[in-house]
Structures are given as C-alpha cells and as structure tokens.
Amino acid sequence: METKIFKVTKDSLDILREASKLLNSGELVAFPTETVYGLGANAYDGKSCSNIFLAKGRPSDNPLIVHISSPEQAENIAYTCDLYYKLAKAFMPGPLTVILPKKDIIPSEVTAGLATVAIRCPKNEVANKLIEISNIPIAAPSANASGKPSPTCAKHVYDDLNGKIPMILDGGSSEFGVESTVITIKNDVITILRPGSITKEMLGHVSKNVQIAPAVKEELRADEQALSPGMKYKHYAPNASLYLIDDKSIDFIKFTSKMQRLENCAVMCYDEEINLLENKNLLPVGKEKDIKKQTKNLFNLLRSADDLGVDTVYAHLPKDDGESLAIYNRMIRACAHRVLTSEEQHKGGTNG
Ligand code: AMP
Ligand code: MG
C-alpha cells in the first residue's frame, strides 16, 4: 500500500474530506493533535479498530482513546457525570483524556474488552475539523509502531507506518509533545493514570481530591493489576540502553565526560551544559528550567538517539512533580528504571 502525506491546515477542506471518506469506509488515517500524532479509525467499527492494532503491532489488551469534536458528544458513547462536565469546561478541547463507563455502541475492540471507554476532545484544529467532518468518533492511539517513542511530526509516522496506512495528514510538529493526561473519576476523586500537560495542580482547581496512580512513578509489581493497561508496557524505549543520572548525588558533567571517553554514548544535556562537554553525540533537551521545551523535544530526541547508533544514552533524572512528572514518567519507562544514584553503581557502563 502506498502511504500518501498531505500538508494540511484546518482550511484544507478537500484533503480533510478525502481523509474522512477513508475513515468512513473503514481505512486508517494518521493525523496531528496537540499532544502527539494519532492513528485514527471509525470508533463505531470494530474491524477498522482492530486494524489499528495490526498496523502498530499493539498488544490487543491495550485500549484506544476515542476522540470527539465537542465534549457533549461523549453522551453518544459513554455515561457522563457532573465532574466530567466540570473538567470539560476547564480543559476541553485540550490534552485531557477521561475514562467513563461505556455505552454498547462502542465495540469491544476499542476498549480491549473493558467496561469503560477513554474519551478526549482534541484542541488541534486539524484533528477537531477532521472529527467534525467525518461525523463519527475517531478511535486513535499514538501513530507510532508499538514500543517506539510516540510521533511528534509526520516524518516519525512515515518512518514507522510507511506502507501500512493510506494517508498521513501533516500538520507540523506537535504543540505539547507528550501524550494526553489520562484520568479516571469516581465520585469527586480524580486519579491520574498517565501524566501529561494537564498537571495534578491544574486538576486541583476542579476537584480537591486528585491522586496519582502508583504505576505513574513506580514499576508495577508482577502481581499488580494495571489500572490502565498501557502502564504495564515498556514503551518509548530507544534501542540504546538509557541511564538516568540523579544529579543530586552524581556530578553530571564529570560523569558523562568520563563516559564520553570510555563509551560510544550520547548525552541528553541541558542547553547550558553544551559547552562543558565534548561536542560528540550531544542531544540538548532545552534550558534546565524550560520544562515545556524539554517536553516538546523529548520523543524526537529519543528517536535521534537511535539514529546516532550509540550503545548508551545518559540523561538527567527529571523531577517527578508539576509539569516535569510527564517527562519523568516517560523517561523512567524508557530507561527500564535504570537510575544511577552513585558512580559505583555503574562500573564503566557497557564495558564494565
Ligand atoms: P495511546 O492512545 O497510545 O496514547 O494510549 C492510550 C492510553 O490510554 C493507554 O495507556 C491505555 O492503556 C489507556 N486507556 C485507554 N482506554 C482505557 C480504559 N478504558 N481504561 C484505562 N486506561 C485506558
Ligand atoms: Mg501510545
């Protein structure tokens, strides 16, 4: 199958109509959103949705997020509540996904057999217009091959899915660069299953009871059931071994300079550190305090690390609160929880 890429804005109506025709006839279309690129199918069509799993190589027990173009459309597919509408008023359209009890019209392929469905109303104008024109809810996970970092531009989608899908809508690079914040709601309690650009503090303006699921920061125990199936997968992993350096106990520059001499490694450093390191395989993440830019750059840098062909990658251990929690959650899983808190823990890296 030939994969065609079209540059689009919300006003590219001919192309968006073409895309909606494909979606309504059961095909898959990749499209931009403000978080990452999505791989869309008609959410009412179980067969099309199962093709998403095939194209991505996604485990069939990891459910999809259903995208709608206005918060009220949730009524067609789920049982809503007051708190849903309070959240919608504050954060929709935007990078927030809410899990609600599903209605029968949503096929089990979308929810991987769960009784709940994940719902999001994207703010990106191309995504929103595409859903509106298609006149159906669109089930869409991130448009990467499973296990790869999520795509933040059309090229990433093409690199992973060329030949497997008919169309990619290219709306430029993603505004936020990490996937949406996923939450469940029960009575007045909000639980964050996956952190994103809508933070715990922001959700705190809508409900006093906001908690973070343990699997966001820690590894799931073997006997523990994931609240969100996606939590149990490694995800986002570069081919090289990624190590996170706790710079409270290790001198980052001294340690990574040494590793640059000993190993074929890349270093994800702050912009301020570029001149302190050897100019070899550096992946600057942004300024130390610029968490928004670091978030936006994250997946592109993890993909670049693979292009460099290095054996190891070193990066700062991100803070695990506020806006930085989304980066922490992705990095801790990308490194398979390899966090270095002392130099002795790491005797010469891959050679030691
Ligand atoms: P992706 O669309 O690739 O960003 O992944 C969607 C995320 O939402 C995964 O982590 C899923 O496990 C999670 N998710 C989707 N539907 C549900 C649901 N009904 N209950 C809990 N988590 C869900
Ligand atoms: Mg994904």
With a 6 Å cutoff on the Cβ, whether 229 touches ligand 1 is: yes
Residue 187, pLDDT score: 87
Using left for φ > 0, alpha for ψ between -120 and 50, and beta otherwise, residue 195 falls in: beta
With a 6 Å cutoff on the Cβ, whether 114 touches ligand 1 is: yes
With a 6 Å cutoff on the Cβ, whether 117 touches ligand 1 is: yes
Ligand 1, atom 7, lies closest to the CA of 230
With a 6 Å cutoff on the Cβ, whether 228 touches ligand 1 is: yes
- Cα–Cα dist 293/300, whole Å: 12
Shortest-distance ligand to the CA of residue 64: 1
Ligand 1, atom 21, lies closest to the CA of 228
Collapsing DSSP states into helix, strand and coil, what is residue 250? coil
Average pLDDT over residues 110-128: 97
Tens-place pLDDT, residues 160-176:
999 999 999 999 999 99
In which residue are the tokens 């899983």 written?
333
Give bridge partners of residue 340 from the DSSP assignment: 245
- d(CA 194, ligand 1 centre) in Å: 9
- d(CA 53, ligand 2 centre) in Å: 11
With a 6 Å cutoff on the Cβ, whether 142 touches ligand 1 is: yes
Q: Per the structure block, which two tokens stand in for 173?
A: 């690079």
- d(CA 341, ligand 1 centre) in Å: 32
- d(CA 152, ligand 2 centre) in Å: 12
Strand ranges, E, within the chain: 4-7, 29-31, 38-42, 65-67, 96-101, 116-120, 138-139, 167-170, 181-186, 189-194, 209-212, 241-245, 265-268, 312-316, 339-340
Residue 7, pLDDT score: 98
- d(CA 36, ligand 2 centre) in Å: 9
With a 6 Å cutoff on the Cβ, whether 194 touches ligand 1 is: yes
CA distances from 284 to 73, 270, 281, 302 (A): 41, 6, 10, 11
Residue 265, pLDDT score: 97
Q: Per the structure block, which two tokens stand in for 94?
A: 């935007």
Looking at ligand 1, which atom is closest to the CA of residue 231?
Answer: 10
Look up the CATH number of domain 241-347. Answer: 3.40.50.11030
Residue 349, pLDDT score: 47
> If you ran DSSP here, which 8-state letter would residue 5 be given?
E
Question: Is residue 133 within 8 Å of residue 16, measured between CB atoms?
Answer: yes
Count CB neighbours of 251 within 10 A.
Answer: 12
Tell me which long-range contacts 151-155 makes (C-beta under 8 A, separation of at least 24).
151/30, 151/36, 151/37, 151/299, 152/36, 152/37, 152/177, 152/296, 152/299, 152/300, 153/37, 153/300, 154/5, 154/30, 154/32, 154/37
Shortest-distance ligand to the CA of residue 39: 1
Of residues 223 and 184, which shows the higher confidence score?
184
Shortest-distance ligand to the CA of residue 149: 2
Comparing 218-222, 303-307, 332-336, which segment has the lowest mean pLDDT? 218-222
Residue 68, pLDDT score: 98
Domain boundaries, the chain: 4-216, 241-347
- Cα–Cα dist 281/274, whole Å: 11
- d(CA 121, ligand 1 centre) in Å: 15
pTM of the model: 0.94
Residue 280, pLDDT score: 95
Shortest-distance ligand to the CA of residue 119: 1
- Cα–Cα dist 77/211, whole Å: 26
Tens-place pLDDT, residues 42-78:
999 999 999 999 999 999 899 999 999 999 999 999 9
- d(CA 37, ligand 2 centre) in Å: 10
The type of residue at 162 is N
In sequence order, the 6+-apart residues with CB closer than 8 A to the CB of 114 are 63, 102
Tens-place pLDDT, residues 20-39:
999 999 999 999 999 999 99
Tens-place pLDDT, residues 313-328:
999 999 999 999 999 9
Shortest-distance ligand to the CA of residue 61: 1
Question: Is residue 101 within 8 Å of residue 136, measured between CB atoms?
Answer: no
Looking at ligand 1, which atom is closest to the CA of residue 97?
Answer: 8
With a 6 Å cutoff on the Cβ, whether 149 touches ligand 1 is: no
- d(CA 142, ligand 2 centre) in Å: 4
Fold adopted by 4-216: DHBP synthase (3.90.870)
Average pLDDT over residues 222-242: 70
